[in-house]
Amino acid sequence: MNKITKLFNIKYPIIQGGMIWNSGYKLASAVSNAGGLGLIGAGSMYPEVLREHIQKCKKATGKPFGVNIPMLYPNIEEIMNIVIDEGVKIVFTSAGNPKTWTSFLKEKGITVVHVVSSSVFALKAQEAGVDAIVAEGFEAGGHNGRDETTTLTLIPMVKEKIQIPIIAAGGIATGRGMLAAMILGADGVQVGSRFAASLESSSHDNFKQKIVDVKEGDTQLTLKELAPVRLIKNKFYNDVQDLYEKCPSKEDLVQLLGRARAKKGMFEGDLEEGELEIGQIAGLIHEILPVKQIVQEMMTDFEIACQEKSKFEF
């Protein structure tokens, strides 16, 4: 038992990050059943779709699970009310100010975690009263901080500033990565990319296969003027780069991005025109596996790495 397994009442300190178009109830319940904490990603769901996923998740697992809520959507109030209505016990908020919803959720007895990419925001989240924070480094898939702070440097800097439990995210897909993050000061890890390429992820098979095919250097953080996001370098990414050469305005970028690019890429499997969000660690993901096997492999790797102390005797 450690701070994170105790906080969520789970077996292993492995959290599956909420991921638009990837983490429906099938992925979340599979991770929870495997001993981690699964999160339904509300970011790509209409409120009633979210309600359905929560209800299905309750049926699919008797273990704790949570909901990830990016706070930038206009229907946020409706989403929060569904979460309360359905008796969700754990909420991870991201992409917004932790002060806006934390006390509301805490008053309802919900465990609240907020995702940050800097120690300044980690402090703000702690002040807002969250139970733990996810500190997410530059390597991570999906939306990211502007400062390009890597997980290796972010975790110890956050650790220096705050007292509440820290969950490290960004670049972690193995037990060794997990141990490294924990040695740096994390109490648990949030894993996204590795679970995006699982059998239970709701993303399109084309996207999952693309993750497996991605090599080191095939992703890049871009669109910083809108919301920085790490993408696979495909045709859409190249179109963005071509536009940058013309010194575009923010409106030009918004226009190129258009609507539903992420859905097109990750859910509908359009590898050319779609937005394909994945982390740098995709270069280490070589197979689409069931969640149970991913978690077991991570824990075996973690145990083996823990026993390799003699490596550090000089």
How far is residue 314's CA from residue 308's CA, in Å, rounded to a whole number? Answer: 13
Taking the C-alpha atoms of residue 290 and residue 27, their distance in angstroms, rounded to an integer, is 10
* Other C-beta atoms lying within 10 Å of the C-beta of residue 137: 24
Q: Is 70 near ligand FMN (CB under 6 A)?
A: yes
Tokens read off for 109: 């007895």
- Of the candidates 192, 228, 265, 274, which one interacts with ligand FMN according to CB under 6 A? 192
Does 4 interact with ligand FMN (rule: CB under 6 A)? no
| DSSP code string of 61-112 | -SS-EEEEEETTSTTHHHHHHHHHHTT--EEEEESS-HHHHHHHHHHTT-EE
Binding part of the chain for ligand FMN, among 55-63, 105-113, 192-200, 237-245 by CB under 6 A, reads 192-200
**C-alpha angle 168-173-175 in degrees, rounded to nearest 5:** 85
**Phi, psi (deg, nearest 5) at residue 224:** -60, -30
Task: Find the shortest distance in angstroms from Cβ 195 to ligand FMN.
Answer: 8
Determine which residue in the list 13, 36, 43, 175 makes contact with ligand FMN, applying CB under 6 A: 43
Nearer to ligand FMN among residue 248 and residue 283 (C-beta): 283
How far apart, in whole angstroms, are the C-alpha atoms of residue 297 and residue 212? 17
Closer Cβ to ligand FMN, 115 or 299, answer by number: 115
Please tell me what DSSP assigns to residue 269. Answer: -
Which residue in 45, 169, 214, 221 binds ligand FMN (CB under 6 A)?
169
245 Cβ contact partners less than 8 Å away, ≥ 6 residues apart: none
Q: Which of residues 79-138 bind ligand FMN (CB under 6 A)?
A: 94, 115, 136
| Binding of ligand FMN by 145 (CB under 6 A) | no
**Stretches 17-25, 120-128, 215-223, 246-254: which one binds ligand FMN (CB under 6 A)?**
17-25
Task: Please report how close the Cβ of residue 312 comes to ligand FMN at its closest, in angstroms.
Answer: 26
Laid out side by side, the sheet with 65-70 consists of 14-16, 188-191, 166-169, 132-136, 111-116, 90-94, 65-70, 38-41
- Which residue lies nearer to ligand FMN by CB, 51 or 248? 51
Q: Is residue 281 involved in binding ligand FMN (CB under 6 A)?
A: yes
Considering beta carbons, is residue 145 or 162 the nearer one to ligand FMN? 145
Residue 210-239 contact track with ligand FMN, rule CB under 6 A, x = bound: ------------------------------
Minimum CB distance to ligand FMN smaller for 63 or for 114: 114
Q: Which is nearer to ligand FMN, 19 or 311 (CB)?
A: 19
d(CA 97, CA 199): 34
Binding residue for ligand FMN, selected from 33, 149, 190, 222, defined by CB under 6 A: 190
How many whole angstroms separate alpha carbon 294 and alpha carbon 123?
Answer: 32
**Is 175 a residue that touches ligand FMN (CB under 6 A)?**
no
List, as one string, the DSSP characters of 159-191. HHH--S-EEEESS--SHHHHHHHHHHT-SEEEE
Total residues contacting ligand FMN (rule CB under 6 A)?
A: 30
Positions touching ligand FMN (CB under 6 A) are: 17-20, 22, 41, 43, 68, 70, 94, 115, 136, 139-142, 169-172, 190-193, 196, 266, 277-279, 281
